[in-house]
A and B are shown apart, each in its own frame.
Chain A
């Protein structure tokens, strides 16, 4: 029966060799132990002896590089049928593959062996806030209270991103699918962050309240303030002032839920949604309750400019305690906004639309407020919204 001559493994680590020259030709008789061919390995060129006696029936590889284990010739009896020698370098028990499989198993087992550390409860560390050194530095530089933040790092650790994004907000942005071919928009990290935070926010138990406000007084106020050389005033500016005032009267709404405690903030840092090149961001007007309308308008104008130019600073996005989302410019009349965690409340306002009311035709604006029910109860929320409506309908009450 014919025997296949395979390229032997002549040294540890040898994976292939180069056949230089055959010392016997096809049809020649061969004795076991006789030099059969010359082989070049990376160490040396040497003669390789025949492992069988018989006739060299076929030389399958005349010369060139051959992997260890591949059949290179057939030795058998004169006149025997030569089996088809296919190119099958990988065989049962041939070099590399058999041991390689074990090595692969060892490597995989090593990768899977991760020490599963018990997730440490956020409060299980003696009241110590877990924050990375970088996060602490940023917080320190900006006077941010770490305890007010929740962390997205391992085991609830506050990382730099959490401190920076304390102000960034997700809002509903309609996206129209283009007709024709399916367009694929790769996810940017901003979008991923938005998605993640939206998902988190969605899991918070919320309730919504709605009210409509007669905007006649506000319209009149804005008309009166319009001038050629002064700052431009918008409904949003008024809303900002109004909400800030209401928040100071209803501190339970200017709040945040944490695992340990509900935090009530001393100041209303009102966030307003602004279109920036990378998407909608929430720019924060700090201490809005202390600002005059003019100051609010100025701050809003500046931050919107920065947003449009893509030059928003961290301070613009951080420390918000409440958010106003205004889709009125798109003529959306009413919508529900998703909370902007860790804030406990958000108000969504729609377009001012003339409606027929018992008093006559009035410019009405719908406000839909969403509240984190863990932090805020129905009554205080309702009172807050009531106040907002009242202040919008009678701005003089703010003064």
Chain B
């Protein structure tokens, strides 16, 4: 893919925000890995290291009333949308102070006030509801957009096809963000898809396609803004194909025996979104250190917060089943 060099139009404040947000996700995920290995976190965890720019770029472009649904790899989206790391970490620790109050865990992070309609453990499970949310916005004539995050693996499942078909048919204000990291757990894209360019699947439904390099947060942000505007203006849904890299295993502890280690190291060197951002904007070591140490403190504090949190009572399990 040809790389179009664009001059940065970001304000200094914006630069700082993007850097901090990405660093927050990075350090949070590293801390999560560390705490998982120490045996403190139950369940499974999937970290978004390498995909920070996608989360930050898209979420920074959302308006207040916009909603989104995420995947099993949801910490990045959740933090990027503004949920406090304390609430996220507490949820991973299963505490009442968690954003889902201990009921959901890593794969079911919700923050409805911020439009986060939930991470989903079923691949493609959240897409139909995004079509539905967008339908509601259209019926009520609200200038809001519903966004779905999903991976290349999800482009094979029934919900993907049905949701895109219906969204395009009814011209609802939705943006379908494909975080194409070229891996569905241990299956590389060439083994799960007969076609190489997954955006053709959206084209097959007649949907507008936009493409962007997912490791360039500025670009992601710019294109996301265009996509959201398109949908918000009533011009129909958009398929945003984001090329990105998963720089870690599928889940914490995944030894990635299926992956070429050399290739992985190369990607870690050359396609790290934070490194690339630093290079692009000439961010010095001192500046990085300043942001990094603040972020790390925040993350450390979130672990303390979570550990000191309140365990749900066993009988709380029977609440919140019915409204």
Contacts and interface: CB of A to CB of B under 8 A. Distances in A.
Interface stretch (A102-110, A231-239, A342-350): A102-110
Nearest to B38: A93
A216 interface: no
Contacts of B40: 93, 95, 98-99
B190 to A, nearest CB: 23
B39 interface: yes
B42 A14 contact: no
A395 interface: no
A12 B43 contact: yes
A164 B311 CA distance: 52
Nearest to B256: A46
A79 B270 CA distance: 38
Contacts of A14: 253
A44 B315 CA distance: 39
Contacts of B42: 12, 99
A9 interface: yes
Interface string B2-45: 00000000000000000000000000000000001111101110
Interface in A76-105: 93-96, 98-99, 102, 105
B253 A11 contact: yes
Interface in B237-267: 251-255, 257
Given A10-B253, A44-B255, A46-B257, A109 B315 contact: yes
A365 B311 CA distance: 75
Contact of B39 (A9, A46, A109, A110): A9
A98 B39 CA distance: 8
A162 B94 CA distance: 51
Given A12-B44, A105-B314, A110-B314, A69 B39 contact: yes
B257 A9 contact: no
Contacts of B253: 8-12, 14
B38 A106 contact: no
A113 B315 CA distance: 9
Contacts of B314: 105-106, 109-110
Interface in B40-84: 40, 42-44
A44 B258 CA distance: 11
Contact of B255 (A10, A102, A113): A10
A93 B43 contact: no
Interface string A4-23: 00101111101000000000
Nearest to B257: A44
Interface string B135-173: 000000000000000000000000000000000000000
Contacts of B36: 9
Nearest to A110: B314
B255 A46 contact: yes
A144 to B, nearest CB: 45
Contacts of B37: 8-10
Nearest to B317: A106
B261 to A, nearest CB: 9
Interface in A97-145: 98-99, 102, 105-106, 109-110, 113
Contacts of B311: 102, 105
Contacts of B313: 109
Nearest to A48: B255
B290 to A, nearest CB: 22
A68 B41 CA distance: 13
A69 B257 contact: no
B38 A11 contact: no
Contacts of A106: 314, 317
A6 B255 contact: no
A110 B43 CA distance: 21
Nearest to A95: B39
Nearest to A106: B314
Contacts of B317: 106
Nearest to B254: A11
A391 to B, nearest CB: 68
B318 to A, nearest CB: 10
Interface in A1-52: 6, 8-12, 14, 43-44, 46
Nearest to B43: A12
A95 B257 contact: no
A10 B253 CA distance: 4
A95 B257 CA distance: 24
Given A12-B44, A44-B255, A46-B257, A6 B38 contact: yes
Contact of B251 (A11, A69, A105): A11
Contacts of B257: 44, 46
7 contacts: A8-B37, A9-B39, A10-B253, A11-B254, A46-B255, A95-B38, A102-B311
Interface of B: 36-40, 42-44, 94, 251-255, 257, 311, 313-315, 317
Closest 3 CB pairs of A and B: A95-B39, A109-B314, A8-B37
